[in-house]
C-alpha cells in the first residue's frame, strides 16, 4: 500500500470523526430547510424604501441617496453623489419637464458617476442586501427606484 495515503490510527480516527460530524451538521441543515450558500451563491438584492419607514432587520445595509439629510435619519452610508442634481430636481418640481424626461436625465447623470455606483455594487456583493433610502414616500416617482433598477442591470 502507498504510504502517502496512510494515516496513523489516531489521525484517521479524528478525520473520520470530523467527517461524520460534518455530515450530521449538513443533514440537520437540510432537515431544517436551510440552504447552504457559498460566497458566489450569496443572495444579492437591492431594495428601496422611504427613510421615514421603520428600520427593519431585513433592510441589510442602508444607504441614503438624498442630497440633504437630518441628524436623526438612520442609515449606514450616505452617498449624496447619487441624488439627482439640484437643476434636475428643480426642473421636475417646477414642472418644466415630465417624469419620463426626468428618468432619462437622471439615468444619464448616474452613468457618469462610476465611483459611487461601483461602491454600491461592491456593497451589494459584500453585504448581500442593500436598501436605498430617500425621503419620497412612494417608489413610483422617485430616483431611488431608478437607481435600484440601474444597479440590478449591472448585477446580472
Query: What pLDDT does 47 receive?
Result: 96
The strand ranges marked E within the chain are 45-50, 61-64, 77-78, 129-134
Listed range (24-33, 86-95, 98-107, 123-132) with the worst mean pLDDT: 24-33
Give CA–CA dist 53/73, Å, rounded.
Answer: 10
Q: Which residues contact 39 (CB under 8 A, 6 or more apart)?
A: none
Verify that 132 and 86 share a domain, yes or no. Answer: yes
Verify that 66 and 125 share a domain, yes or no. Answer: yes
Verify that 73 and 22 share a domain, yes or no. Answer: no
Mean per-residue pLDDT of the chain: 84
Verify that 25 and 44 share a domain, yes or no. Answer: no
Query: What pLDDT does 156 receive?
Result: 80
Verify that 44 and 17 share a domain, yes or no. Answer: no
132 neighbors 65 (Cβ within 8 angstroms): yes
In the predicted structure, residue 5 carries a pLDDT above the cut 90: no
- 4-22 mean pLDDT: 54
Verify that 60 and 113 share a domain, yes or no. Answer: yes
Query: What pLDDT does 152 receive?
Result: 95
Of 69, 18, 47, the closest CA to residue 123 belongs to 47
Which domain covers residue 127, as residue numbers? Answer: 39-155
Verify that 71 and 135 share a domain, yes or no. Answer: yes
Verify that 73 and 111 share a domain, yes or no. Answer: yes
Q: What is the dihedral of CA 74, 80, 82, 84, to 10 degrees?
A: 110
Query: What pLDDT does 125 receive?
Result: 95
Verify that 23 and 43 share a domain, yes or no. Answer: no
Verify that 119 and 44 share a domain, yes or no. Answer: yes
Task: Give me 33's grid cell.
Answer: 430547510
Query: What pLDDT does 138 receive?
Result: 92
Task: Give me 3's grid cell.
Answer: 504510504
How many domains in the chain?
Answer: 2
Verify that 95 and 136 share a domain, yes or no. Answer: yes
Query: What pLDDT does 43 receive?
Result: 80
Verify that 7 and 54 share a domain, yes or no. Answer: no
Amino acid at each position: 500500500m502507498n504510504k502517502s495515503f496512510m494515516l496513523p490510527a489516531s489521525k484517521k480516527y479524528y478525520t473520520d470523526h470530523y467527517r461524520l460530524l460534518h455530515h450530521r451538521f449538513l443533514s440537520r441543515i437540510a432537515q431544517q430547510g436551510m440552504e447552504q450558500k457559498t460566497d458566489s451563491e450569496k443572495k444579492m438584492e437591492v431594495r428601496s424604501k422611504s427613510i421615514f419607514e421603520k428600520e427593519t432587520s431585513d433592510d441589510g445595509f442602508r444607504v441614503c441617496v438624498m442630497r440633504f439629510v437630518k441628524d436623526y435619519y438612520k442609515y449606514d452610508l450616505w452617498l449624496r453623489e447619487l441624488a439627482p442634481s439640484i437643476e434636475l430636481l428643480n426642473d421636475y418640481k417646477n414642472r418644466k419637464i415630465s417624469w419620463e424626461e426626468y428618468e432619462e436625465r437622471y439615468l444619464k447623470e448616474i452613468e457618469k458617476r462610476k465611483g459611487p455606483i461601483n461602491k454600491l455594487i461592491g456593497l451589494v456583493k459584500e453585504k448581500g442586501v442593500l436598501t436605498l433610502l430617500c425621503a419620497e414616500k412612494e417608489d413610483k416617482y422617485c430616483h431611488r427606484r431608478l437607481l435600484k433598477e440601474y444597479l440590478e442591470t449591472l448585477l446580472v
